[in-house]
Structures are given as structure tokens and as C-alpha cells.
Structure 1
Amino acid sequence: MRLPFLTAALAFVATGCATSGGFDKLYPGMSSQQVVEAMGTGPSRAEEYPDKSTAWYYGEDRCVLMREDKLVSKATSDEKAALNTPVVSVRDTAKAYCAPEGHAQKVKREQEIETPFGTIKGDLNPAAAVKKVKGVVTGNKEAPAEQSEQATTPAP
């Protein structure tokens, strides 16, 4: 009876370790070689900054900031479930972003809406969606362009 439970627990732990890829083992001060060894591979993409630091991205959900061959910081995507019902689920995710201090943040957000009819994924703008829906419901496309003023007296 304990054997199936133990097997399931070990499988769960092994799966968790495989998906993190060693990211949990990273700490500030590690060399680039140690980071690559811990992750098991190099980054999928890199972004350089003027202060000689480089952001290494491992997929879309993990990144590390390297400066002078040392790990400075790391970040992961932050997923929030805004709505989770049996019929529809809405998730808002702030994607992982690594940049040096003082560098303008350009955090990428992604929303995902799951319905029984399919999934909509991307950077959804709620204000634009509401405006579009209101236009469809009321029958108005956009506000009409301003019209020129007409003469008030009849033409002869």
C-alpha cells in the first residue's frame, strides 16, 4: 500500500525537478559556467545592456542577469488567475524580465482566456475589447467625424 504512494511521490518530485531545470539552485555570485552547469544548457536568448550586463532568458518564464561573468539576480514569470470557473478561466501573466537598475522596465504581459470553445492567448487590451463590444452591441462603429457647419439661410 505504501509502495504506490511512494512511487507517485517520487515521480512528482522528479517531474518538478525536471521542469525547474536547476533554476532553484541558482544564487547571486555564481559564474556563468556554474549557471550553465546548473541549468543543464545555455540560455535560449540573451539581451545586452549598455552597462555591460546581459540578461539570459531560459524560455519565456525564467531569466538571470549576468554582469562581469557573475549572476546578479534572477526572475520568473508571475502568473495570476483572475478568474477560474468550470466554464471559463482567465489568467494574467507578467513574463520574466531581467534588467539592470535604472533601466526602463518593459515587462511583457500575456493574458489567456480558456473557454469550452477554445483558448485566446496574447497581450489582450481590456479597454479596447470593451470598446469593441460596446460598438457591436449598440451598432456604433466609431463616433462620426465632425461635420462642417451648414448655412442657416436657404440658397436662392
Structure 2
Amino acid sequence: MRLPILSAALALVFTGCATSSFEKLYPGMSSHQVVEVMGSGPTRAQEFPDNSTAWYYGEDRCVLMRDDKLVAKATSEDTTTINTPVVSVRDTSKALCAPEGYATQEKREQTIETPFGNVKGNIDPKAAMEKVKDVITGKRGDTEPAAAPTEGEQAASPTP
């Protein structure tokens, strides 16, 4: 009887300690409070003409500061677009902090996970699905390469 109660108490203690410092940030905090809670300053910053500054902590977390106060915060979001036993593709929308009216390009990154390793980059998951579907069904469309010249035949030279 004591073991389950002790286990539950330990789980509660460890869950409370697992709260990240980023989750403790709230609007209205001063820049000094943000640095104190995060344990360091940002890894990079981006200034805007309206006296706002986006502070980035790595690539996955950011806060928007204006007049020495925290205005907003954002984190990267993961979604799985393809999930099979052999291959999965995870699409990540990177954290983005910008004041209203300042449109910035959203950064996205895809990760292809296979038993042979992982590949990160910018791919279009819909195009990848179409390519896989075409390979499976045997369709090649207009992308089929031209036949190689036979012996004694010269390859056509490109026209200018």
C-alpha cells in the first residue's frame, strides 16, 4: 500500500519540476525578469521599426518585447504529415515573433525519419506523397528520361 502512494508522490514532484522556464513567462514581464527566468539572454534578436524586438531562444522559442515589456511569446509546432512503419515525415512550423502589421516569412522545416537515419530540410510533403504514389503505381509522367544514343549514333546537341 505504501509503494503506490510513494510512487504517486514522486511522480507529482518530478512533474512539477519538469515545467520549462519558457512556460513561466507571461505578458507584462520586464526584460530583466525574462532573462532571469530563462537563465540567459536570447541567442539572437530581431528589431522592428515600431521599437519591438523579437528575442529568439534557439530556433523553437521566441518572445516579443516592446518598451521593455514582454508582449507575446511563441514556440515551434510539429505536425506529422506522413506516418508509416518505415518512413515518417514531420513538418515543423518554426517559432515566429513579429508585431502586428509586420508580415514576415514563416519558416518551415521537414524531417524525414527512416530506419537508415533522418534527413532535415525544406520539402513539400504533398509533392513527396505524389512522387511516392507515382513510383508505386508505375506512372512517370513527363519526367521519363530520353533514351541513350546507340553505338554509332551521336547525341543531339542542344539548340541555343
Q: Distance in 2 between matches of 1:124 and 1:62?
A: 22
* Structure 2 unaligned regions, length at least 5: 135-139, 147-157
Matches within 5 A, 1:126-141: 126=125, 139-140=144-145
Matches within 5 A, 1:1-156: 1-2=3-4, 3-14=6-17, 16-17=18-19, 20=20, 22-126=21-125, 139-140=144-145
Residues 86/131 of structure 1: CA separation in 2 closer, same or farther (3 Å cut):
closer
C-alpha root-mean-square deviation of aligned residues, in Å?
3.0
Q: Secondary structure of the equivalent of 2:110?
A: strand
Q: Distance in 2 between matches of 1:131 and 1:147?
A: 32
Q: How many residues align?
A: 140
Name the aligned partner's letter for residue 7 of structure 1.
L
Q: Distance in 2 between matches of 1:65 and 1:118?
A: 36
Name the aligned partner's letter for residue 83 of structure 1.
I
Q: What's the % identity of the aligned pairs?
A: 61
* Structure 1 unaligned regions, length at least 5: 149-156
Normalising by the residue count of structure 2, what TM-score does the alignment of the two structures yield? 0.73
Q: Secondary structure of the equivalent of 1:75?
A: strand
Normalising by the residue count of structure 1, what TM-score does the alignment of the two structures yield? 0.75
User: Where do 4+ consecutive residues of structure 1 move more than 6 Å?
Assistant: 130-134
